[in-house]
Amino acid sequence: MKALKSKIVQQGKVLSDTVLKVDSFLNHQIDATLMKEIGEVFASRFKKDNITKIVTLESSGIAPAVMTGLVLHVPVVFARKKKSLTLSENLLTANVYSYTKEETNTISVSRDFIKPEDNVLIMDDFLANGQALLGLLEIVERAGASIAGAGIVIEKGFQSGGELVRSRGIRVESLATIASLQNGTVTFKEDDK
Q: Which residues in this chain contact a second copy in the complex, by CB under 8 A?
A: 15, 19, 21, 23-25, 28-33, 35-36, 58-59, 62-63, 66-67, 69-70, 73-78, 80, 84-87, 100-102, 109-110, 112-113
Looking at the Cβ atoms of 77 and 152, the one nearer to a second copy is 77
CB of 163 to a second copy, least distance (A): 24
Q: List helix spans (H) across 100-160.
A: 131-142
Q: How far is Cα 79 from Cα 62, in angstroms, rounded to an integer?
A: 10
CB of 182 to a second copy, least distance (A): 18
CB of 168 to a second copy, least distance (A): 26
Residue 134's region, left for phi above 0, alpha for psi from -120 to 50, else beta, is: alpha
CB atoms within 10 A of CB 192: 17
CB of 21 to a second copy, least distance (A): 6
CB of 11 to a second copy, least distance (A): 11
Q: How far is Cα 176 from Cα 191, in angstroms, rounded to an integer?
A: 10
Q: How far is Cα 125 from Cα 63, in angstroms, rounded to an integer?
A: 9
Looking at the Cβ atoms of 101 and 167, the one nearer to a second copy is 101
Q: How far is Cα 137 from Cα 120, in angstroms, rounded to an integer?
A: 10
Residues 58 and 78 sit within 8 Å (Cβ to Cβ): yes
Looking at the Cβ atoms of 89 and 191, the one nearer to a second copy is 89
Looking at the Cβ atoms of 144 and 163, the one nearer to a second copy is 144
Residues 15 and 21 sit within 8 Å (Cβ to Cβ): yes
Looking at the Cβ atoms of 10 and 85, the one nearer to a second copy is 85
